[in-house]
A and B are shown apart, each in its own frame.
Chain A
Amino acid sequence: MKKHKIMQVLSKKIYKEKFVELFLENDLTPFPRPGQFLHILTGGAFIRRPLSIAGCTENSVRILFEIKGKGTKKLSEISKGQYLDIVGPVGNNFPLPDRKKEISLVAGGMGLAPLLFLASQLISEKMNFKFFYGARDKGHLLDFLLPKGDYKKFISTDDGSDGEKLTVVEMFERKLNNEKTDIVFAAGPYQMLKALSEICRNNNIEAYVSLENIMFCGLGVCQGCVTETINGYKRVCRDGPVFDHREIKWT
């Protein structure tokens, strides 16, 4: 079927022992857009695991994940040539912004994955943007994966072991005076997105954030992954994962 696929692993790399990058043969229809994700049967857990699409070409799809628990552990053990059971591409996407706007991408931790895909798209569209990226510490920083291009990068770690000693949201806020931003695209942990949302609200900045709720179907049919919004409960897998930050009732 169109969205249930068995896809081959073309290559695999492991960074800093717990981050895994897989390139899969691209069998996806329609062509994925930044913000969308794959729902993957890992073999290590009962239900599928959602992972963002971190890049995509005609021939390959890239995913990038941290080994967190049983599902991602098992997935990290797959090797080149083996196959993965996938549902995707699923979810909505980051809206393509107006060229005239000052764009900032803000990634915390593995929120990097979907924003790598968005950055590549902006680069190929010849759009200007700034990339703010923060991780817990040097051991969790994957800044070498940022795509080549003529854009400003700002790197931070919570403990200062690399880049500025700030959370990515603090860094973004401090730079606001010199680095004008009209629109933000962000992904990362809930608390980070919540803090970012408040700053964007106070500074009248448009912002789209990608949420990471636990999911069962990933297809919008079970209502298992909802988040509370000003318009009632919405499904993160189908109505999201990308939401206008003003729509979310942060808890």
Chain B
Amino acid sequence: MDLKQLKIKLGKLVLDTPVLPASGTFGYGDELQDVTDYKFLGAIITKTLTWEQTQGNPPPRIWEFENGLMNSIGLQNIGVRCFASEKLSCLKKLKKPIIVSVGGKSPEDILKCIEFLDRKNGISAFELNLSCPNIKTSKIISEDPRSTFNIIKKAKKITDKIIIAKLSPNVRDICETGIAAEEAGADILCAVNTYKGLYYDWNNKKMYTGGVSGSMIFPMALRAVYELYQKVSIPIIGVGGISSEKRALEMIFAGASAIGLGTFLIINPELPMKICKFLIDYLKTNHTNLQSIIGLYNEKRQKETDC
């Protein structure tokens, strides 16, 4: 398989393939080498790291639906400092762009992580997981355009590295936060994170809240990317419920320059290989190239650029 034609630039971020792991289902980045072939992945991404080590939520943390999954992990992780001393050097050996996902209890925490990691070699980009509350407004940052704008603006002042804003779908209009991120200087958008969900457990008669992922969120994630593509001009990484080669291509048709696999990277570790193969076949049969099919069937944007 000749992967060369799958090389793609998302602004300054150059990827060997447009297939990326999604944060949180890929550990710290080097743990799935026995299971999936890294050759087909465009970059390495870590689970979200916080300034202090985080315990996470009490179990249970995983609930299953017919077509999806709900999780409430609570950002359990070893913290950025431990990550930098124990994991980063192993990741560099993988010779792929390294995207570090950062999050925290407050905007200050996130900025502290970036400031600390900015001094380390080998990191290509920061993905800001903005699913944390802003203490002052008590709103989740990524659900509030103002807070999103403010934190990205500050992050851009601290680092020259690429900033990816990971957007929450739990908003009235995702374009509002997407545009705010772009105006603040974000280089790339990543849409979407998990959808708010609720699970009823018949065994112990309890309700649990968490974030929903998997095939059942695909149509909404696709729509989010479709709408963002019409409103912003920075590249978008499309994430959410991608379960097959076709779904990956649909995400690209809607406007994604790259796609992220979360839940299905675990369910089907061969999916990155299958998507790459399918894309290459598609490009060949249709005598086209990857760049030209991004947003290909997103008619509204098409019209705007036509006139």
Write out the residue numbers on chain A whose beta carbons fall within 8 Å of the beta carbon of B56. 223, 226, 233
Q: Knowing A220-B31, A224-B71, A227-B59 are in contact, say whether A1-B64 is a contact too (CB < 8 A).
A: no
Produce 1/0 per residue, B46-62, CB < 8 A to A: 01000000011011111
Q: Which residue in chain A gives the minimum CB-CB distance to B53?
A: A232
6 other contacts beyond A46-B214, A221-B32, A221-B47, with CB at 8 A cut-off? Answer: A214-B60, A217-B25, A219-B31, A221-B25, A223-B76, A226-B56
Question: How many chain B residues touch the partner (CB < 8 A)?
Answer: 32
Produce 1/0 per residue, B238-264, CB < 8 A to A: 000000000000000000000000000
Residue from B25, B26, B65, B76 in contact with A46 in the complex, judged by beta carbons closer than 8 Å:
B65
A87 contacts chain B at the CB level, 8 A cutoff: yes
Query: What distance in Å separates the Cβ of A97 from its nearest Cβ neighbour in chain B?
Result: 29
B67 contacts chain A at the CB level, 8 A cutoff: yes
**A46/B59 in contact, CB under 8 A:** no
A223 to B73, CA, bound (A): 7
**B25/A222 in contact, CB under 8 A:** yes
Interface SS of B by simple majority: loop
B27 contacts chain A at the CB level, 8 A cutoff: yes
Produce 1/0 per residue, B132-147, CB < 8 A to A: 0000000000000000
A20 to B157, CA, bound (A): 61
Q: Knowing A1-B269, A4-B269, A47-B267 are in contact, say whether A224-B62 is a contact too (CB < 8 A).
A: yes
Q: Knowing A46-B69, A223-B76, A225-B62 are in contact, say whether A233-B55 is a contact too (CB < 8 A).
A: yes
Produce 1/0 per residue, A191-206, CB < 8 A to B: 0000000000000000
Write out the residue numbers on chain B whose beta carbons fall within 8 Å of the beta carbon of A225. 59, 61-62
Rank and list the top 3 A-B pairs by shortest CB-CB distance, nearest first.
A221-B27, A224-B62, A3-B34
Query: What distance in Å separates the Cβ of B246 from its nearest Cβ neighbour in chain A?
Result: 19
Interface residues, chain A, CB within 8 Å of chain B? 1-4, 41, 45-48, 87, 213-217, 219-228, 232-233
A216 to B64, CA, bound (A): 9
Interface SS of A by simple majority: loop
Query: What distance in Å separates the Cβ of A233 from its nearest Cβ neighbour in chain B?
Result: 6
Q: Knowing A2-B34, A233-B56 are in contact, say whether A222-B64 is a contact too (CB < 8 A).
A: no
**B270/A4 in contact, CB under 8 A:** yes
A154 to B36, CA, bound (A): 44
Write out the residue numbers on chain B whose beta carbons fall within 8 Å of the beta carbon of A226. 56, 59, 61, 76
Query: What distance in Å separates the Cβ of A213 from its nearest Cβ neighbour in chain B?
Result: 7
**B266/A217 in contact, CB under 8 A:** yes
**A215/B62 in contact, CB under 8 A:** yes
**A233/B76 in contact, CB under 8 A:** yes
Q: Which residue in chain B gives the minimum CB-CB distance to A224?
A: B62
